[in-house]
Chains A and B, each alone.
Chain A
Amino acid sequence: MHSFRHTSNETSHPRRGGLLIFVSVLSIVAVIAVRPARCEESPTVAAPKNRAQATSDVSYEPTVQQIVKAKCLKCHNQRNQKAELDLSSSKGILKGSESGEILDRQTPADGLLWEMVSEGLMPPDDEAPLTAEELASIKKWIFGGAKFKESAGTHPSLTQHDVLPVLYLRCTVCHGNRRREAGLDLRTKAAMLAGGKSGPAIVPGEPDQSLILKRIHAGEMPPRRKLVSVSVKPMTDAELKTLTEWIAAGAPEVSDQSPAADSAIDDEDRRFWAFQPPKKHAAPPIKDSQQTINFIDAFVLARLQAQGLTLSAPADRATLIRRASLDLTGLLPEPEEIEQFVNDTDPHAYEKLIDRLLASRHYGERWARHWLDVAGYSDSEGVQNTDKLRPHAFRYRDYVIRAFNADKPYDRFLLEQIAGDELADYESAQQITQEISDNLAATGFLRFAVDGTFSNITNFVPDRLEVVADEIDVLTSSIMGLTVKCARCHSHKFDPIPQRDYYRLAAVFKGAYDEHDWLSPERKAGAPGSTDRYLPHVPSAERDVWEKNEQRITKQVAALNQKQTATQRQLTDKHLNERLLKLPEVLRADLREMLAVPEKNRTPVQKYLAEKFEKQLRITPDELKKLDPDYQKLSDEHDKQVKALEAQRKPEPLIRALWDRGEPSPTYLLRRGDYRNPGPLVAPGVPAVLNGGTSRIDIDPPWPDAKKSGRRLAFARWLVRREHPLTARVMVNRIWRHHFGQGIVTTLGNFGKTGTPPTHPQLLDRLAVEFMDCGWSIKDMHRLMVLSATYRQQSHVTAEHQQHDADNRWLSRMPLRRMDAEVVRDTLLQIARRLDPAYLGPPGKVTSRADGLITSEHSEQGYRRSIYVLQRRRQIPTILENFDLPQMDPNCIERTESVVAPQALLLMNNALVHDLSRHFARRVHKQAGDDPQQQIEWAYRIALGRTPAEQELQAAEESLKQLTEAWNRATEKQDKNRADVPPIRALESFCHALMNSAAFVYID
C-alpha cells in the first residue's frame, strides 16, 4: 500500500478514501519522503518539540535485527541501497536515507522508519508484510530509545563532504574560483591549509586556532552588509557546528573515489514497455485492405476492425487542402491554389501538394511554434514586475524555424540544443560560420526558464536551483517524456528514477548551470560571457556588418566633433581676444598662458591671475552660444547630425547561450530537495533504467585541451543512440499529436507508469524505428502520416462512432479541430491581406492599453506572423491569450483548448478584428464587384476555401439585404449623396460575421 500524498498529517486528518491510490509498488521505491520537502521554508523560530523520555532499555540486536534482515534487506542492503538506505548495519541505519535520518530520537513517533512501517507503507505491497508481533518488537525498540549493542562507529564521522557544501554555499563566491579575496580559496582542504594573506584558514584539530572560525564567530564573515550584493546568507548554527567539529576531528578527508554507486534498478524495472527499445513491427494483416495506403493505415485499421469499425471515407479535396495547409503551414490555401488542386487530374496531386507545403518556409514558422512550446520559449524573464526583456532570445526562435525548414535531422537538432557549445571549438575558430553560430544559438533551448537571478535579491542559491530544476524539467518532459522532476525531492514514486539519478542529471548540467558559479541573465559590463550569458559568436559576416556600421558611425561622429571643436576653439579665441583687449596689454600674454595651463599645474603667479581674472575671461561652450547666435545655430546643427548618426547604431548582435565553463563545483544529492541538506556526492550520469541498469556514461573532453567537461555532449549522444527507448518514440508521438489531435500516448510528457499506455503500441514503435531509419527526418515523418488514408479521412461523426469510438481513440475519423491561437490570428490577417511576409528577425512590438487590451503593432507591410510577435510573459496579445496561447511553466507540453465567452467578445467587438473585416470586404469587393451572390461566394472561397451550401447562401443573402437596409437607415442623415456606402458597409458587416463563424475557426 502506498499513499500518493506527500504529506503525512494523518494525525490531524483521517485518511480519505478518495485520496488514496493503491498502487502495486513492484519494488519501485523503498522508503519515500513521506514528509514534505519544506525546502522553501526557513522558520527562524521553531516551535518547541516535546521531548520523549526513553522508557525502557531495549536494543536492536538480535530480535529487530533479524526482522530487518528478513523483511527489509532485499532492497536496503549495502550494495542495493534503494532510496539511499542501507539497513544492513547500525551505521547505515543511523546514516538514514535520501530523506535524511530515519530515526527521531526526540519524538520517536515522527521518525520516518516508524512512520513507514506503522502505516503499512513498508514493506511494499508485493513483499511479505510485517506481522503484528514483528511490528510490536520494532515499536518497543524505537520507543525504547533505538539503541544498538554494537556501538562502534555509531556516529558517522565527518569528512570534507560534510563541510564543502557549506563552504560553497556561504564562502566560495568570494574565496573560490572566480574571486579569491585575500588570496584565500576554500574549495579544498589543501587550499584551506595554504590559506590566504592572513595565514592558513584552518588548523586541523584546533578549532580555536582556526582563522575561519574566528572570523565567523566575530560576525565578520560573511560580511553582513555585503550579503545581498553577493546573494549569500550567513552560516547557520548547525553549519558552523559541523565545520567546527570537522576541524576539531583533524579535518579528515576521504579520497575522492567514485562517489555514489549505481542506483538500484533491476530487470523488472526495465521491463516496462517504455523502457524497452522500440521494435520494427510488421504491419498486421488486414481484411479489406484496399483502404490502406501505408503501414499506418494497416495498424489503425486492424484496431478499428477489432472494434467493428472501419476507416471513414476520404475527405473531399477542398477539405483536404484546407486541413493540410493549416496543419503544415498554419495558413489558409489561397483560392487559386484550391482551384488548382481540386481540378488536378494527376494521380499524385495530393503528394505534390504535401511536397509543396513542406517546402514552404511557412512550414517552419508553423512547426517551430510546436517546438517553442516544449522549449518554453519566452522573450522575457518573468519573476519581477518589470518582466525584463530578453532582447537576444529571438535567435533561438529563428534557429528553430530554420532547422525545421531545412529538415535538420532530429538527432542533430538535439545535439545542438543540448550541447552545441561542445560540438565545435568556437573560441579558437578563425571564422564564425553559420554552423558554429547555430550550435550556440541552439543552446538557448536551456535558457528559457522563468529567471529572476538578474537581481541580487532573487539570486540566492535556492533561486538558482529553481532555474536549474525548471531546465531539467523542460529537458526531461519534452525530449524524454518522463516526469523526472519528481525525483528532485525523493525517488520517483512510480517510475524507477531514484533521487540519485536526478542529481546525476544535475551534475551533467553543472558545467553550465552551477549554482555556485552563476552567470547573469542580464548583459553586464565587460566582455560578453565573462559574467553574463551572452556570446558574441554570431556568423562573422553578420558581425562584420555590425562592426563596420559601428566604426563608420564612430568615425563620422569623430569627424563632426573635430570640426565642431575647431570652430568652437576659433570662436572662443576670437571672443577671448576681444575681452583681453579690454585689459592692460602687459597682462595679456600671461593671462593667455595661464588659461592654457590646467589648474593643478599652475605657478603661484598664474594661480593669482586665475583668481582675479579667470572668471571674466573664461568662455564656456554654453556662454559662447549666448555670445554668438551663429555659433548657437552651428552647434544645434552639429548636435542634430550626431544624434542622427548615433541613432543608426545597432545593438551588438549577441547569442543568449549556454556553455560549459570547465570547472563545475561538486554535485551533492539534496535531501528532500533542500539545498541546506546535502547528502552524498554524485557523479554525472543518466537514469540507469534507460541505460541497461547503470548510470555511467563515458565522458571525455569534447576536443583535445578543451576547457569544457564534455558532460552534456556525452549526455546528448547517449540520448540519440538508436537503443534509447524514449527519444524517437516521444518525438514521433508529438508529431502524431499535431496531425491527429491526440498522441498515441495521450500524455505527451509522461511515458512512465502514470502516463497513459499507447493506443497503438506497435504502430508507435514502428514509427519510432522508421524515424531513426530515415535519418531522423521530421519531414519524412510528416509525409508518412499526412499521406496515410487515416489522415485523409473525413471528420463526420456517425452514430456508430459515438457508440464504439466516442473519444476517437481508434481514429475512426479525423477529429474536428479548432485553430490554434496563432492560426486564428494569422489567418484573419491573411484573408484581410494584412500579414507582413517578413521572415525571421527581432520580434514585433506589442502595446498595452489602459484597460488591459494588448495588441501587436504593425508596419507598412502589415502585422507580423504570431510567431514573430514579442512573447513577453506579462504582455501576451489578448487575441492569442484568449485562444489558449499558454503561459510557459516552465514549458507547455500540450495546450488546452477552451471555448469561452471572451473569445466571442473579442472576435465581435475588438477594433483590430473589425478593421480586418473591412480589409477582407475590400478584397471580396475587388473580386466580386457589386453582386451580392458573387460577394458571398468569394468571401466563402477566401475564408473557408469552399462555396456556401444552399442554406448558408440563403442566410447570407437575407442578411446582406437586411444589413444594407440597416446601413441605409444609419447613414441616411450623413451621406445622402453616397448611395454606394450602405452596400459596402453591409459587405463589411457580413465579412465580420463570417470571421466569427464556427466554420472559420474549426477545421474539418
Chain B
Amino acid sequence: MQNQMNHIPNPSRRSFFDSVGSGLFAAALSQILGRDLYGSEDPPSGHARRRVHDLKPKPTHHTPRATSVIHLFMNGGPSQMDLFDPKPELDRRHGEDYFDKIAGEVENPTAAGALMRCPYKFAKHGECGMDVSDVMPHLAGCVDDIALIRSMYTVNLTHEPALYKIHSGRQFSGGPSLGAWITYGLGTENQNLPAYVVLDDPLGLPINGVQNWQPGFLPPVYQGTRFRATGSPVLNLKPDYEQPDEIQHLKQDLISRLDRVHLKQRPGNPQLDARIAGYELAARMQLAAGDALDLSQETAATQESYGLNDKTTESYGRRCLIARRLVERGVRFVQLFINAQIFDNHTGLENGLKGACARTDRPIAALLKDLKQRGLLDTTLVVWGGEFGRLPIAQLPADKNPKNAGRDHNKNAMCTWLAGGGIKGGTILGTTDDLGFAAAENRISVQDWHATILHQLGLHHEELFINHAGLRERLTGVFEARVVDEILA
C-alpha cells in the first residue's frame, strides 16, 4: 500500500506554519500527535497488523500539481443552461411541449411544463471567449483561469443520493467523502489544524447534514471538521460551562501528570502516547483555530473585495476568505457549503438563481484573484459545482403561472468548473444536446471528475484504496474512470 509508506517530510513554503505549535511539544507532535488513530484493516493475506492511521504528510503516487483543494459546493443543482451553457435551440422552441420525450427523467411529472428558455443574457468573456450569463458578472472576469466542463452527468436525480454520489462516489451513505479520501492519501501539512475543514453555513446544514463529510469506512481521523465562521469554531473547543481559565489549566496539568504515571506503568502501548498527545493537540488547536479565523488580520481592501461589507455577500465572502487563510496554513481540503439549497430553483428560477449567484459570485471571484495574487492558485485546486443539473422544460408552480416557473432536477447534464492546481485556464470541455438535456460529446462522469481531482493532487484513483470487509474500496469504486486530461495544463 504505497500511501502507507514511511515518508520524509519535505520542507515547504508552509513549514512556517507548522512551527506555530513549536517548542517542547513539537517533537512529540510530529512523532506522536499526528498518529491519531489505530485502526485495523485486513490485508489480502497474512496476519492483520494493527495499523496506525495518522495525518502526517504522505508521499504521492506521482508529482502533484496541487497540494490543497477548495471545494465550492453549490447545493441544489445549478442550472447549466442558465449559467454556462447557452442553448439557442431552446430559445427557439420555447413553449413547445416536450414532456413525453423525457417522461422517465422527470421527478415531478404533474408539474412538468413546456420547454423554457433562459431568462438571462449570455455574453462571451475573456480571451477564451467563454459563455457566462449575466448573473455571474464577477466570475466572468476570471474565465481565463478556469476550465469549464459542460458535459458532466450523474446517476440520480434526487438530492440525497446525488449528494452522496458527488461527495463519496456512491449513492448511499457510508462511503468516505472526497476530502476524507484525500487526507487519508496525503495527510496534511499543519498538525495544529484539522486536515479537512468544512465551512458550513451558519444558517443551516446542507441536505444530508454532516454525512457530506463523513469518513465512512476510513478511520475517523479523516473526517471533516466543521469550523464555524463565528463563535467557537470547533465543537467543544472551549468549556461549555463557567470556569476560570486557571482551573482549566490546573485540570489539564493534573490529567497530564496522571496519564504520564499511567503510561510509565504500561510501556509498549502506543495508544496511550497518542492519547496524551490528543489532549495536547486539543489545547493547541484552540490557539491555531482562533488565529486562522481571525479576519481582523486582513486589510480593509481584502475584506471589501470578498464582499464582507455587503449584507448579501458577507456570509459566503467570510467563508471564502477563511478558506484562503486555511489553505495558506497548510490545510489540505477545505469545503464550503451553503444553507438550504439556493440553487434548487424549482420555482421562480429567474429571481431565485439570480439571488443565489448574488450571494456567491463576488466572493468566489475574489477568492480566485486573491489566491492568484498570492501565488497560492498554482498549488490550490478550486472546484465549483453542484450535485446535478436541471431540465430544459419548465417546472410549473401550483398556480401554473409560467412567470414563476423553475426547472426540475436533471441527472443527464450538469456544469462544473475547476481552477488553479495545474488546470488549464480558459478551457471549455464537452457539449450537451441542442436543448441542454443531456451531455453529448466528452461525457464526464462523477468518477472521472473524482479521478481528475485526485490526479492533480498526485494520487491515482486506482491506487488510493483501503481494504474493507474483503474489498479494496476506492473513491471511484468499481466504475470506469478517467483523468480528464483535456483540462490539464
Contacts and interface: CB of A to CB of B under 8 A. Distances in A.
Contacts of B265: 949
Contacts of B219: 896, 898
Nearest to B470: A483
A998 to B, nearest CB: 5
A450 B250 contact: no
A754 B161 CA distance: 31
Contact of B268 (A226, A797, A809): A797
A458 B255 contact: no
A747 B48 CA distance: 8
A874 B210 contact: yes
Interface string A879-900: 0000010011110011011111
Contacts of B272: 816, 998, 1002
Contacts of B259: 997-999
Which DSSP category, helix, strand, loop or mixed, fits chain B's interface? loop
A756 B49 contact: no
Contact of B479 (A36, A754, A894, A993): A36
Contact of B174 (A887, A914, A959): A887
A199 interface: no
A904 B155 contact: no
A708 B217 CA distance: 38
A897 to B, nearest CB: 6
Nearest to B264: A951
Contacts of B110: 225
Interface stretch (A6-14, A71-79, A208-216, A926-934): A6-14
A35 B478 CA distance: 9
B236 interface: yes
A967 to B, nearest CB: 7
B374 interface: no
Nearest to B482: A12
A18 B226 contact: no
A904 B478 contact: no
Contacts of A749: 469-470
Nearest to B261: A951
Interface in B417-472: 433, 437-441, 443, 445, 460, 462-463, 469-472
Interface in B145-174: 153, 155-161, 171-174
B329 to A, nearest CB: 17
A385 interface: yes
Interface string A211-239: 00000000100001111100001100000
A904 B239 CA distance: 12
A802 B37 contact: no
Contacts of A966: 244, 246-247, 250
Which DSSP category, helix, strand, loop or mixed, fits chain A's interface? loop
A139 to B, nearest CB: 24
A167 to B, nearest CB: 17
Contacts of B416: none
A42 B155 contact: yes
B23 interface: no
A900 B37 contact: yes
B463 A16 contact: yes
Contact of A997 (B49, B172, B262, B482): B262
A752 interface: yes
A852 interface: yes
A893 B48 CA distance: 15
A989 B437 contact: no
Contact of A893 (B160, B263, B469): B469
Interface in B277-314: 278-279, 281-282, 285
Nearest to B175: A889
B40 to A, nearest CB: 7
A801 interface: yes
Given A44-B438, A900-B278, A884 B460 contact: no
A873 interface: yes
B246 A746 contact: no
Interface in A896-949: 896-906, 908-911, 914-915, 949
A894 to B, nearest CB: 7
A42 B155 CA distance: 7
A383 interface: yes
A801 B250 contact: no
Contact of B480 (A9, A896, A899): A9
Chain B interface size range: 35 or more
A889 B253 contact: no
B282 A970 contact: no
Contacts of B266: 795-797, 816, 1004
Contacts of B225: 902
B99 to A, nearest CB: 7
A899 B254 contact: no
B236 A967 contact: no
Interface string B211-242: 10010110111000110100110111111110
B460 A45 contact: no
A909 B443 contact: no
Interface string B89-110: 0000000000110011111111
Interface string B106-119: 11111000000000
A489 interface: yes
A143 to B, nearest CB: 23
Contacts of A233: 104
Given A44-B437, A224-B99, A905-B235, A963 B221 contact: no
A757 to B, nearest CB: 8
A748 to B, nearest CB: 9
Contacts of A747: 42, 48, 470
Interface string A774-798: 0000000000000000000001111
Contact of B161 (A4, A383, A796): A383
Nearest to B279: A904
B208 interface: yes
A955 B258 contact: yes
Contacts of A45: 412, 433, 438-440, 443
A234 B104 contact: yes
A483 B49 CA distance: 20
Contacts of A47: 441, 443
Contacts of B279: 901, 904, 908, 996
Contacts of B48: 742, 746-747, 756
Interface in A167-187: none
Contacts of B482: 9, 12
A990 interface: yes
A901 B36 contact: yes
B13 interface: no
Contacts of A750: 42, 469-470
Contacts of B469: 477, 483, 749-750, 893
Contacts of A44: 105, 412, 437-438
Given A909-B240, A993-B255, A802 B235 contact: no
Contacts of B207: 385
Contacts of A851: 228, 231-232, 235
A873 B276 CA distance: 31
A899 B278 contact: yes
Nearest to A815: B269
Contact of A874 (B171, B209, B478): B209
Interface in A22-61: 35-38, 40-45, 47
A924 B275 CA distance: 27
Which 9 pairs from chain A and chain B are nearest by CB? A889-B174, A797-B268, A483-B470, A6-B478, A911-B240, A904-B282, A750-B470, A224-B103, A905-B236
Interface of B: 2, 36-40, 42-50, 99-100, 103-110, 153, 155-161, 171-175, 205, 207-211, 214, 216-217, 219-221, 225-226, 228, 231-232, 234-241, 244, 246-248, 250-255, 257-259, 261-263, 265-269, 271-272, 274-276, 278-279, 281-282, 285, 412, 433, 437-441, 443, 445, 460, 462-463, 469-472, 477-482
Given A754-B44, A759-B47, A798-B268, 6 more contacts: A13-B462, A450-B174, A755-B42, A797-B268, A896-B219, A962-B250
5 contacts: A45-B412, A45-B439, A385-B160, A899-B38, A909-B240
